[in-house]
């Protein structure tokens, strides 16, 4: 029996390539070279690198300069003295990406320019009405509009916004976010008031993309695990985010650590979140307020349970857990050890299946990494089959707790980096 063979890529165009398609392709190739160069590159170097003629390079450079995608900067070639040659590099005045994030300690907004530099970063507490979807999204729209206005004076134009949420997303709809008490919240439609196209995505995925963009290895493989009110993971293999068949991969918080363990907000028992979420760690500290009970039970459509108004301030790992751990409080150290072991057990399963060699601790885990890393590493060394030949690296993230909002902003601008012609089409 012979299996049918089908080509895996899109169908090839019929007939000759259209002239304007060729022009767009050449423009993308030149822009990609400028982007990859990392420092100013001359027109002559671009012609050599791309194989295009000097007049073609000159025409494309003019188009990119007029569209504020690149700028001219003086460079000296090979370090030799003499008149500086003019190089081309990415512009820091032009298109920009907006990121928005709902996190354990409040709301965040960030704008990055085309070079990936953060140009605006603001934080705000949760609205007084707590995690109510309308109030939270309303606050984010205000923060987003202020950010868009603030960067306009820097000659930046926000083209897209991306919202990071702690749960699986379907289109613009947040299917479930137990940490917020949200179910089937159409955040994408709500955020249309921002006035720019808005994408909604899982915060762990966006944070993982932020780490990938910020790191030195564009083809890296790692598992980003985000701690907080919930626990999520972003899986990056060979530089690509693995979203899963329905885009819902990475729900590490609901991996079973103890089959007969405590009840979880998701309806199961013994999930990782019942040991290592911020609420679970706080719950093990005598005298610390633990409101994880507010998350249990049925969650009404788009509405949150009551008395959650100040939960984000009370469950601030920086102000409660770390303070006690720094004071060597035995209960805090024991809770963190237990959380680290549970995290290590859940991560071992993922590492055994995915062959990941690096685990990045993000969100509140980044702040708590000095107390978590040893127990996480001990479980991984014990449970990962290949650990004795190739140890798994466990370390805090580069971007720390801001990984998701920066990753969201970088994801927004990445569309222009990949498809500069879409921006240019709107400029003419
Ligand atoms: Zn669960």
Identify the pLDDT of residue 75: 65
Q: State the average pLDDT over residues 370-388.
A: 94
Confidence class of residue 14 from pLDDT cuts 50, 70 and 90? low
Give the whole-number percent of the chain exceeding pLDDT 90: 64
CB 202 within 8 A of CB 232: yes
HSE value, Cβ hemisphere, 13 Å, CA-based, for 336? 25
The CA-CA-CA angle for residues 191, 193, 196, to 5°, reads 80
What's the pLDDT tens digit per position in 80-129? 556 667 899 999 999 999 999 998 778 999 999 999 999 999 999 888 77
What's the pLDDT tens digit per position in 149-204? 999 999 999 999 999 998 889 989 999 887 788 899 999 999 999 999 999 999 99
Confidence class of residue 296 from pLDDT cuts 50, 70 and 90? very low
Residue 69 Cα distances to 138, 196, 344, angstroms: 32, 19, 44
Interatomic CA distance for residues 370 and 230, integer angstroms: 20
CB 211 within 8 A of CB 219: no
Ligand 1 centroid from CA 60, angstroms:
53
CB 46 within 8 A of CB 62: no
Ligand 1 centroid from CA 227, angstroms:
14
Three-state DSSP state, 371: helix
Identify the pLDDT of residue 221: 92
HSE value, Cβ hemisphere, 13 Å, CA-based, for 214? 23
Close Cβ partners of 218 (under 8 Å, ≥ 6 residues apart): 212, 239
Identify the pLDDT of residue 302: 25
Ligand 1 centroid from CA 269, angstroms:
6
What's the pLDDT tens digit per position in 321-338? 889 999 999 999 999 999
Ligand 1 centroid from CA 215, angstroms:
31
Ligand 1 centroid from CA 339, angstroms:
15
Ligand 1 centroid from CA 56, angstroms:
57
Identify the pLDDT of residue 279: 86
Ligand 1 centroid from CA 348, angstroms:
18
Q: Is the pLDDT at 76 greater than 70, yes or no?
A: no
Its pTM stands at 0.81
Among 157, 183, 42, CA closest to 412: 157
Q: Is the pLDDT at 69 greater than 50, yes or no?
A: yes
Ligand 1 centroid from CA 245, angstroms:
20
Range list of β-strands (E), 52-140: 70-75, 85-90, 95-103, 106-113, 118-124
């Amino acid at each position: 029996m012979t299996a049918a063979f089908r080509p895996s890529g899109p169908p090839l165009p019929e007939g000759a390539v259209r002239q304007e398609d060729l022009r767009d392709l050449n423009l993308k190739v030149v822009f990609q070279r400028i982007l990859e160069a990392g420092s100013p590159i001359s027109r002559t170097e671009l012609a050599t690198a791309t194989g295009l003629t000097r007049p073609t390079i000159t025409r494309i450079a003019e188009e990119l300069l007029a569209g504020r995608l690149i700028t001219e900067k003086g460079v000296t070639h090979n370090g030799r003295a003499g008149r500086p040659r003019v190089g081309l590099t990415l512009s820091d005045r032009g298109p920009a990406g907006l990121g928005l994030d709902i996190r354990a300690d409040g709301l965040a907004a960030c704008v990055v320019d085309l070079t990936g530099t953060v140009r605006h970063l603001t934080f705000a507490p949760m609205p007084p009405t707590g995690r109510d979807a309308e109030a939270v999204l309303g606050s984010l729209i205000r923060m987003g509009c202020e950010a868009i206005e603030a960067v306009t004076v820097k000659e930046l134009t926000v083209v897209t916004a991306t919202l990071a949420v702690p749960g699986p997303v379907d289109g613009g709809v947040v299917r479930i976010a137990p940490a917020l008490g949200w179910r089937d919240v159409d955040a994408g439609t709500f955020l249309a008031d921002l006035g720019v196209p808005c994408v909604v995505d899982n915060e762990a995925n966006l944070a993982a993309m932020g780490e990938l963009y910020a790191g030195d290895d564009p083809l890296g493989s790692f598992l980003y695990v985000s701690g907080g009110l919930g626990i999520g993971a972003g899986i990056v293999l060979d530089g690509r985010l693995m979203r899963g068949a329905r885009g819902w991969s990475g729900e590490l918080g609901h991996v079973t650590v103890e089959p007969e363990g405590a009840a979880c907000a998701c309806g199961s028992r013994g999930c990782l979140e019942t040991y290592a979420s911020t609420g679970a760690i706080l719950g093990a500290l005598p005298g610390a307020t633990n409101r994880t009970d507010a998350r249990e039970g049925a969650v009404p459509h788009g509405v949150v349970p009551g008395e959650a108004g100040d939960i984000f301030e009370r469950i601030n790992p920086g102000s409660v857990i770390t303070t006690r751990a720094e004071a060597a409080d035995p209960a805090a150290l024991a809770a963190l050890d237990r959380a680290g072991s549970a995290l290590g057990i859940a991560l071992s399963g993922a590492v055994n299946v995915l062959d990941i060699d690096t685990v990045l601790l993000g969100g509140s885990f980044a702040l708590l990494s000095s107390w978590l890393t040893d127990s996480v590493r001990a479980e991984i060394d014990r449970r990962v089959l290949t650990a004795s030949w190739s140890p798994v690296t466990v370390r805090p993230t580069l971007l720390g707790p801001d990984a998701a909002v920066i990753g969201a902003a970088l994801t927004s601008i990445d569309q222009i980096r990949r498809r500069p012609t879409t921006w240019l089409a709107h400029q003419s």
